[in-house]
A and B are shown apart, each in its own frame.
Chain A
Amino acid sequence: MENINLRKFLKRGAIWGFIVLELIFFTVAGHFLSLSEVSFLDPENMLLLLKQSAPIGIIALGMTIVMINGNIDLSVGATFALAGVVMLDSMSWAVFAGLGDWVIPVAWMIALATGAFLGLINGMIVWKTGVDAFIVTLGAMLGFRGLVFMFNGEQPTFHLNWTMVDIAESSFFGLELPAIVLLLCTLVLWLVMNRTVHGRNAYAVGDNREAAVNAGIKVGPHMVWNFVLIGFLAALSAVVFYSASGSVNPNDGMLYELWVITAVVLGGTKLTGGSGSIINTLGGVIAIQILRKGLGHIGADTETVNLVIGTILIAVLFLDRQLNRRGQEELKV
């Protein structure tokens, strides 16, 4: 029994243990290798790190829910870009010309609605056609990207509004807006997944879909909601990011889906559905960001980041399997 509990604890806490190790490593290594005088653990550095985690992190929270549900969404990068384009483009629409700075919340709403709507499309297709979410969202990844190009072709979309930049860069209690949004989303979604019927049903659907159907959970609409949620979160991520930058490149967000999935898997969510945790996904996102910044801090080539992250992902998978092995009695298939 003790053994099982220890193992469980190890599995649940693994990502945070890994973060602590990373922090220790980069602090100590930074002490000897870094050119900068500032310690890696410097609070400002840590806050910056949290802020930089936000764009991927917000989407990763949604991906966690979709993956707990037993689905996957490969279209989040394109959704991110499309929501960004729609937001910046809509600010110069003639209809809103008289709004002044009130155009900002309107543009945000339009962007968020766009994201939710794209999620709705994916979800409805998954529900009504029964085509696997991997294929549906793989197609959508291409299709949504096509929609992005409709706005300005291969040209970037600009719209600079200083009020919006000020809002996007404002900070409260030392936390910048993106970090706050990330933490708030984490809190809300954690509550959703652990305290609400919808959240518990999400686990049930991913764990044993047939059981969920037999128990009368409306699996189709349930999954649609989760796709709407991840679309909304991808758009929210875009709102936070592009409000500050004011410029979208039509190729933005490419490969985001893969980074997001990497973070979620590092956080311990299973591809097969039924298990995973919002908090640990936040851990996965932060761990990747620490790695990025840390390698830069100790003067390693930024190129090695990809190499290290890829290796760690595979190592985690390997360790997870070793922990779950039944040893000699196992059937060799």
Chain B
Amino acid sequence: MTERIPALRLENIVKTFPGVRALNGVSFEVMPGEVHALLGENGAGKSTLMKVLGGVHQPDEGRIYVEESPAVMTNPLEAKSQGVVFIHQELSLAEEMTAAENIYLGELPRKSFGRVDWPRLRADAGAILDRLNCGFGPDQIVGELSIAKQQMVEIARALTVDAKAVIFDEPTASLTDAEKEVLFDVIRDLRTQGVGIVYISHRMEEIFRISDRISVLRDGTYRGTLITEETDEEAVTKLMIGRSLDLSRHVPEGALGGVALEVQGLSCGHLFEDVSFKVHAGEVVGFYGLVGAGRTEIAETLFGLRSPSAGQILLNGEPVRIHSPVDAISHGISLVPESRKEQGLVLGMNCRDNMTLPQVDDLTAGPFVSEGAEIAVFDQYRDRLQIKTPSWRQQVKNLSGGNQQKIVIGKWLSMRPDVLIVDEPTRGVDVGSKSEIHNLIRELAGQGYAVIVISSEMPEVLHVSDRVVAMYHGRITRTFTAAEVNEDNLVQAISGLGGGQVA
């Protein structure tokens, strides 16, 4: 292995933006036939590095080599023509078109008069799809495929050129377990074919399964490379976070209040079925499961955004019907939604207006909105949550991810709910804000709120929860107390392995 030359090598890349040194002398290489994982927190510089590699940004200093010959990238296309291909987290496909057309998008084979050479297109695309062993033909309409199979089309696209290095950016973000296995098989195939693979992810268990080496970025700086077989999660985490994030297990203390929320046999089509659980006042219940297990959908149903097909919801012992968010709010339920930018904020509005949006009808003087009352609410929660913004007039799109998330949390805290549901509380949030948000959640429970935390990050769930509900395929497989739960039994419970239902 040592004699061979790297498929792709980055040398001392520096990139600064006004006020920020996004990349500070990053070096990185991937050998042919190697899976090299690239790890880092959000904001560590992974995406900037990829943009430099894809030619979206030009590096201020440093060089890129493809098979040791210097390469200058000015756009993703040029990168591709030099054998460096990206598989992005967000798929970039024309859904109404066939797989073959998508694979050769932008370079459809031509005959005279600009006609498409269909037979050649089908044959070439078919050959690549066969090579990936993906079970559909070149004439398949892409929009009718599952996400995982659409990803296969993207990968097939990478194989139309003589790919030296393929870069996977969070490829499993929206895959089921079975689909993940298929993807891993494809990655292993590519590896045996001598392609160098860069695998970007923050999911530790995947990285340990699939990679040969792990490189870590932190704050735009290269922190070192570890050989996967010779290291463990702790060592990697330490490199990644630098100072250790307090993710110690939460130990419940003090007495709980009464049952604030009870759900009995709740179902919503096939999204989730026969779900029952209780949340007490002063308690944090964590919901853990894979993407698509039905956690977010339960939250949306509780908040009136989906109609349940069966079951009932009780608040403080009283059955209630919730048809809309308006109902939910009037019953004292708040939801901090999963996607901040799409569901949480009106990005073009200022901080204050975003925060007071659900209660704008109440913050009035006569028929008019009372600016004073609004500013009072904003100031109160800005101070309490330590939101950093020059003024309430700032548009939220100009705030950092962490501060945006705090605006959303503030928006719902200011409604003084009985039940607070927080879906992915720290997604896309920097480390500092992360622990602040964790502390806040614990603090809220201490003040008697009933809190539901939905998260895809196991350490987070274990850190904040008094009890953990594990979900698999739309059903609750097990409910753990903080004392019972550990990483092993939780992983079992969310992969459908862990025995029968235990209440």
Interface residues of A (CB under 8 A from B): 4, 195-198, 200-201, 203-204, 207-208, 210-212, 214-217, 274-275, 327-333
A329 in contact with B268 given A212-B105, A215-B107 (CB within 8 Å): yes
Asked if B499 is an interface residue, CB under 8 A from chain A, the answer is no
Asked if B263 is an interface residue, CB under 8 A from chain A, the answer is no
Contact A208 B95 (CB under 8 A): yes
Given contacts A216-B77, A216-B107, 5 further A-B contacts (CB under 8 A): A195-B115, A211-B92, A211-B102, A329-B269, A332-B305
Q: Out of A197, A217, A333, which one reaches B114, CB within 8 Å? A: A197
At the interface, is chain B mostly helix, strand, loop or mixed?
Answer: loop
A275 in contact with B115 given A200-B101, A217-B105 (CB within 8 Å): no
Contact B268 A207 (CB under 8 A): no
Contact A197 B110 (CB under 8 A): yes
Residue of A nearest to B154 (CB): A211
Q: Out of B93, B115, B269, B309, which one reaches A197, CB within 8 Å? A: B115
Q: How far is the CA of A208 from the CA of B107 in the complex (A)?
A: 16
Contact A331 B306 (CB under 8 A): yes
Residues of B within 8 A of A328 (CB): 268-269, 307, 309
Contact B94 A274 (CB under 8 A): yes
Q: How far is the CA of A155 from the CA of B113 in the complex (A)?
A: 44
Interface residues of B (CB under 8 A from A): 76-77, 92-97, 101-102, 105-108, 110, 113-116, 144, 268-271, 300, 304-307, 309, 324
Residue of B nearest to A207 (CB): B94
Central interface residue in B96, B102, B271, by most chain A CB within 10 Å = B96
Residues of A within 8 A of B304 (CB): 332
Central interface residue in A201, A203, A210, A215, by most chain B CB within 10 Å = A215
Q: Out of B106, B144, B300, which one reaches A217, CB within 8 Å? A: B106
A197 in contact with B116 given A203-B94, A331-B305, A332-B306 (CB within 8 Å): yes
Q: How far is the CA of A214 from the CA of B102 in the complex (A)?
A: 12
CB distance from B109 to the nearest CB of A (A): 9
CB distance from B343 to the nearest CB of A (A): 8
Residue of A nearest to B300 (CB): A331
Q: Out of A215, A329, A333, which one reaches B105, CB within 8 Å? A: A215
Contact B94 A212 (CB under 8 A): yes
Central interface residue in A195, A201, A211, A328, by most chain B CB within 10 Å = A211
The 8 closest A-B pairs by CB, nearest first: A215-B106, A207-B94, A215-B105, A329-B269, A211-B92, A216-B106, A216-B77, A204-B94
CB distance from A10 to the nearest CB of B (A): 16
Contact B115 A196 (CB under 8 A): yes
Contact A214 B108 (CB under 8 A): no
8 sampled A-B residue pairs with Cβ under 8 A: A197-B116, A207-B95, A214-B76, A214-B92, A217-B106, A327-B269, A328-B268, A331-B300
Residue of B nearest to A199 (CB): B116
Residues of B within 8 A of A210 (CB): 92
Central interface residue in B93, B110, B116, B269, by most chain A CB within 10 Å = B116
Residues of A within 8 A of B307 (CB): 328, 332
Residues of B within 8 A of A200 (CB): 97, 101, 108, 116
Contact A208 B110 (CB under 8 A): no
Q: How far is the CA of A63 from the CA of B309 in the complex (A)?
A: 44
Q: Out of B97, B268, B306, which one reaches A203, CB within 8 Å? A: B97
CB distance from B165 to the nearest CB of A (A): 17
Residue of A nearest to B308 (CB): A328
CB distance from B56 to the nearest CB of A (A): 11
CB distance from A191 to the nearest CB of B (A): 8
CB distance from A228 to the nearest CB of B (A): 15
Q: Out of B77, B96, B107, which one reaches A214, CB within 8 Å? A: B77
Q: How far is the CA of A200 from the CA of B96 in the complex (A)?
A: 11
Residue of B nearest to A196 (CB): B114
CB distance from A255 to the nearest CB of B (A): 31
Q: Out of A195, A208, A327, A330, which one reaches B92, CB within 8 Å? A: A208
Residues of A within 8 A of B113 (CB): 196
Q: How far is the CA of A195 from the CA of B109 in the complex (A)?
A: 12
Q: How far is the CA of A327 from the CA of B309 in the complex (A)?
A: 11
